[in-house]
Amino acid sequence: MSIDFIHTSDWHLGKKLFKESRLPEQEAFLSWLLVKIKKLQPKALLISGDIFDTPHPSSKAQALYYQFLKEVVDNSKTEIFIISGNHDSGRFLEAPIPFLKERAIHIVGSLEVQKKTYTFHRDKVSYHLFPYFRSHELYNYAREYFPEHLEGLDANSSDTGLLLDKLIENIFDFKKGQKNILLAHHLFGNGELSGSELGLSLSGLDTIPLSLIKEKFDYVALGHLHNHQYLSKSDPVICYSGSPIAFRFSERKNKKLNHVEVDEGVQVNEIPIPEFRKLFELKLNEKNYKENILELVKNLTKTDHESFLEVQISSDKPLRGVSDEIREMLKDSPIKLLSMQTRLLSSENIDRNTRVRKESGPEELFDDFYLQKYEGEKKVPKELKSLFLELLDEARSEN
Ligand SMILES: [Mn+2]
């Protein structure tokens, strides 16, 4: 009989796009996932880090998380395995362990200098939970458990690699005849970054070489990169499940998670995740932007949540009032303009080294900036200048 699990990661509960909350879509995703779990009744759900977007998430984000965990426990026999990501506070995730472990929810949030369980044996499968950690935690751990490998080492890549190798050997419990599943949230091999991820590195290592994990595991459930992607398709399968929703306009929208069956081999079934809210990114120019936006409004298919739009317009002269104009065009449509940028074609080559006058106040700096950006203009238009001064007043009166 095969054993199966679902692999997901990078929920970033509580994350915002500009000032807009993404919780409605995150809630929609979790409801959708719950339906899948009820239907598939997988043996396990693996969540490979970045559960929350910040170390101390809002109460709403936390409520969503706990509600989801409870629903899974109430509606399935699925065990849940969770590791921390670089956005999470490992200790924060671990705090409710006394309650959660009794409900078959297992969390490893940090690498600690004390014996704790990193491996969970189940039937013919062992789950190895590798939490996110930084270099100093690795060195602290090494100092305690394998100091002989620290002697004479400085932080260059092969040394860190050796310590990681020792660490994997030391924290995980490998049992003969088991299929080994690794959960991790570091950068491994060469993944493709999508923009909303931070660069991660252990001192001396930008990414962890695949050679450190290849021989030891049968499926590697990675988190951190937001586009679903494989580093290896077999022996072992190494996969970033990606985030369930697009967090940036530029991020790829075809989101998936993996339903994995482990028998003699490893069989991956990808499950496409519905797009709960559409994100549109339009790169236009001053001649075609109106028709393109009207076209978008006309062809929009309905989703439960209003769509978000980012517009970039390239032009050879400053454009004024375009945001308002676009908002007016979108007035009766379920599309909200979140960001509007103008790209001045002639300003591309401006000498960026123009010296800033030392005595300049914000007003002068604004003038300088304007004249530099809009080449050929002699003076900041009155209207714009007074708007700026108003803003400046507002900013000064705050706190
Ligand atoms: Mn991450």
Ligand 1 centre to CA of 109 (Å) is 13
Q: What is the reported pLDDT for 278?
A: 93
Convert the pLDDT of each residue in 20-64 to its tens digit.
999 999 999 999 999 999 999 999 999 999 999 999 999 999 999
Say how many Å lie between the CA of residue 87 and the centre of ligand 1.
6
Q: 188 C-alpha to center of ligand 1: Å?
A: 12
Burial code (b: 16+ CB inside 10 Å, e: under 16) for 289-308 equals beeebeebbeeeeeeeeebb
How many whole angstroms from 86 Cα to the centroid of ligand 1?
Answer: 5
Ligand 1 centroid to Cα of residue 216, in Å, is 23
- Give 45 Cα–ligand 1 centroid separation in angstroms: 18
Give the integer Cα–Cα distance in Å for 118 and 172: 6
Q: What is the pLDDT of residue 393?
A: 75
Measured in Å, residue 197 CA sits from the centre of ligand 1 at 6
Question: What contacts 93, CB < 8 A, 6 or more positions away?
Answer: 51, 82, 84, 107, 109
SS3 content of the chain, % helix, strand, coil (to 5): 35, 25, 45
What is the distance in A from the centroid of ligand 1 to the CA of 51? Answer: 9
pTM: 0.84
The first and second tokens of residue 91, run together, are 């200790």
- List pLDDT tens digits, range 313-372: 998 888 888 999 999 999 989 999 999 988 887 655 444 445 455 556 788 888 888 888
Q: How confident is the model at residue 399 (pLDDT cuts 50, 70, 90)?
A: very low
134 C-alpha to center of ligand 1: Å?
A: 13
Q: How far is the CA of 110 from the centre of ligand 1 (A)?
A: 15
DSSP element (H, E) containing 138: helix 135-145
Cα three-residue angle 211-214-220, rounded to 5 degrees: 125
Distance 94 CA to ligand 1 centre (A): 18
**pLDDT value at position 351?**
47
Does 158 score more than 90 pLDDT?
Answer: no
CA 149, distance to chain mean position in Å, is 34
- Domain boundaries for CATH 3.60.21.10 within the chain: 3-272
Q: Which fold has domain 3-272?
A: Purple Acid Phosphatase; chain A, domain 2 (3.60.21)
- Phi-psi category of residue 214: left, alpha or beta, with phi > 0 → left and psi -120 to 50 → alpha: alpha
